[in-house]
Amino acid sequence: MTMDYFDFSPAMMTDMYEYTMLDAALHDGTASRNCVFEVFTRHLPLRRRYGVVAGLGRILEYLKDFKPNESDLQYMHDNHIVSDDCINWLRNYKFHGSIWAYREGEMFFPNSPILQVEGTFGECVLLETLLLSVLNYDSAIATAASRITSAAGNRPCMDMGGRRIHEWAAIAASRAAIVGGFAGTANLAAAKKYGLKCIGTAAHCFTLVHDTERDAFVSQINTLGKGTTVLTDTYNIEDAIRTAVEVAGPQLGGIRIDSGDLATMAQRARKQLDSLGATRTTITVTNDLDEYSIAALATAPVDSYGVGTRLVTGSGCATCNMVYKLVERENGAGQMAPVAKKSFGKATTGWRKRALRSYQYGLAQGELVLAGSQKALDSWKAPAEYGDTKDLLICAVDHGDVDESLMTRDALFAARDYHKAELAELPISALSLSEGDPAINTETLNI
């Protein structure tokens, strides 16, 4: 796309105060203090049982170009946003710090240290807004997707939600849906960018633009082959199915139903298709589906689900309320020291964290968050009572070096597999769709 749209760098997808804080910190010297920031959420949205991390690959992609361009600097200068000293510092900016993070596809719980950034105050503070934007949205979608695919069991779920959310968010949603177990997307840009399976049927307008429904089906089948999926509810579903099988024969690939009581309609459609010999013709249903309506369709003869609005809006919660907090920094004496705010209801825990998940008999028992000095964290050994433990933070950026393997298509599909395996290791209560407590407790230990 042209620069008309995007005459700013990723470094501008940021709240202004990150830059004004940088400016002040450069003048007083604290900009060069070593710091540790952490991303976490205080509670799971809508009292769900678990959250699913997504977006790390996108963050790393942005990070490679996270630097204001000359036009950005000119804008900041002209609008007196920061001083010239600050602009000169920004001209040489590159993130040289390190980032550890929960894998994409990993579960998170209240106070899980989902992402950890270490570097100078100046280089770390600028990342806050963009890190949170990506993690908050992508994780909200992956979490919804995971619940939806759980409810769908072995039936594939397809993302058809692009039209119901901001056009770029739609592309991120297609990606995050994969992490949560979706099989493909209707969105061409997402399919192209991330190498996803692209799917589609036909819209009502295609039937309506033709003089008859039969004309529409003949045209679709002639061009796209008998394996195509026709939309059957423009006029009367029974008539449409009869016509479609007459046109394509029993090899008709599939039908889609987009209105009415889907369970009843699917039952009738299956019976009719079978009676016409189209026993292998699949049934896709769509129409504001979410995890609840899909769970209710478990016994209906449905082959796949197209999920739109409710997927891309996080099924009731389009954000995770993750925050980015300073937890440790160099003091005036050059020593790393814990810091924490005391705001009412929003107090934080100082020190860098180490996160582990504990297992008994292969089943997750708890989220263990250790807070302490680097030395204390490194030397901590889990007492036997915790059973087996697994460290949850992986290194994504090492002193400015981005681990590019985390940005690939393979990494995205690995995240889906990882998520599926992790979900199987949570207590069965994790699969409950009702509101309640997290599937496992988070224990914070100051060591």
Q: Which of residues 150-189 bind a copy of itself (CB under 8 A)?
A: 160, 162-172, 186-189
Candidates 343, 362, 385, 428; binder of a copy of itself (CB under 8 A) is 343
Rank residues 14 and 358 by Cβ distance to a copy of itself and give the closer one: 14
Q: Is 146 left (phi over 0), alpha (psi -120 to 50) or beta?
A: alpha
Nearest in space to 161 (alpha carbons), one of 322, 289, 256: 289
- List binders of a copy of itself among 362-421 (CB under 8 A): none
Q: CB–CB of 159/183 below 8 Å? A: no
Q: φ and ψ at 445, to 5 degrees?
A: -115, 125
- List binders of a copy of itself among 115-154 (CB under 8 A): 121, 125, 128-130, 132-134, 136-138
Pairing of strands 107-108, 254-257: unpaired
Q: What strands, in cross-sheet order, belong to the sheet with 282-285?
A: 184-185, 157-159, 304-307, 282-285, 254-257, 229-231
Nearest distance, CB of residue 234 and a copy of itself, angstroms: 5
Q: CB–CB of 119/94 below 8 Å? A: no
Contact window for a copy of itself (CB under 8 A) among 30-38, 103-111, 372-380, 390-398:
30-38
Rank residues 26 and 430 by Cβ distance to a copy of itself and give the closer one: 26
Residue 47 binds a copy of itself (CB under 8 A): no
Nearest distance, CB of residue 415 and a copy of itself, angstroms: 18
Residue 335 binds a copy of itself (CB under 8 A): no
Instruction: Please count the residues of this chain forming the interface with a copy of itself, following the rule CB under 8 A.
Output: 115
- List binders of a copy of itself among 253-292 (CB under 8 A): 258-260
Candidates 2, 92, 299, 434; binder of a copy of itself (CB under 8 A) is 2
Nearest distance, CB of residue 191 and a copy of itself, angstroms: 7
Residue 434 binds a copy of itself (CB under 8 A): no
Nearest distance, CB of residue 391 and a copy of itself, angstroms: 26
Rank residues 234 and 365 by Cβ distance to a copy of itself and give the closer one: 234
Candidates 154, 334, 344, 384; binder of a copy of itself (CB under 8 A) is 344
Give the Å distances, CA to CA, from 66 to 61, 95, 291, 321, 373: 9, 8, 37, 23, 30
**Structure-block tokens of residue 189:** 């840009």
Q: CB–CB of 52/179 below 8 Å? A: yes
Give the Å distances, CA to CA, from 418 to 107, 143, 184, 415: 10, 14, 17, 5
Q: CB–CB of 95/68 below 8 Å? A: no
